[in-house]
């Protein structure tokens, strides 16, 4: 399980201790990532490193080029998927009046997929380890790629209309 950022509000040691106590009650293996509210100053960063890095593999990076690069890649990937989704929906629903409906279906499917991915892979990792979890996610990704390659119809070219 990933504990993703903004785990505490003001990055005080007391808030981190409360978070650590709550985290200690989890049965599943977990990985803590930090957010902008989690690390405000050097003592908080030092406490986070001492408490989380050695046990759960959480890391802090101060390399600004790395952080900006990761954020740029995340943004580009999200933009490409958003635009691609809208284009596919436009192609598949052209002339039906169901574009907005299908955008809602895609958003719902994305939410279900994100939730079930964590649930299924958490179960696999808990019972079979991280390698099996990675292979499981890679298998789902491969299945999705195969579906797009072989089952998603190409958009036929639009006939040219002379004006």
User: How many beta carbons lie within 10 A of that of residue 77, not counting itself?
Assistant: 10
pLDDT attached to residue 61: 62
> Nearest Cα to 32, choosing from 68, 63, 64, 8?
8
pLDDT attached to residue 37: 57
Q: What is the mean pLDDT of the chain?
A: 78
pLDDT attached to residue 97: 93
- The CA radius of gyration of the chain, in Å to the nearest whole number, is 22
Question: Tens of pLDDT along 26-52?
Answer: 777 666 666 655 565 666 666 666 666
Determine which of 19-28, 77-86, 104-113 has the lowest per-residue pLDDT on average. Answer: 19-28
Q: Reduced to 3 states, what is the DSSP secondary structure of residue 25?
A: coil
pLDDT attached to residue 24: 75
CB 67 within 8 A of CB 61: yes
| pTM (two decimals) | 0.53
Gap between the Cα atoms of 76 and 65, Å rounded: 16
Instruction: Judge whether residue 56 has pLDDT over 50.
Output: no
pLDDT attached to residue 136: 92
Q: What percent of the chain has pLDDT over 90?
A: 18
pLDDT attached to residue 81: 86
């Amino acid at each position: 399980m990933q504990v993703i950022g903004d785990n505490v509000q003001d990055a005080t040691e007391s808030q981190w201790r409360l978070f650590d106590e709550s985290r200690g009650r989890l049965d599943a293996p977990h990985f803590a990532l930090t957010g902008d509210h989690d690390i405000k100053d050097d003592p908080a960063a030092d406490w986070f490193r001492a408490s989380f890095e050695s046990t759960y593999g959480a890391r802090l990076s101060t390399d600004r080029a790395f952080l900006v690069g990761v954020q740029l890649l995340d943004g580009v990937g999200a933009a490409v998927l958003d635009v691609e989704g809208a284009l596919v929906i436009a192609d598949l629903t052209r002339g039906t009046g169901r574009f907005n409906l299908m955008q809602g279906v895609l958003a719902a499917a994305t939410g279900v997929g994100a939730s079930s991915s964590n649930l299924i892979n958490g179960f696999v990792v808990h019972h079979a380890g991280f390698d099996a979890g990675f292979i499981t996610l890679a298998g789902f990704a491969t299945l999705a790629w195969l579906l797009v390659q072989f089952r998603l119809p190409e958009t036929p070219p639009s006939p040219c209309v002379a004006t």
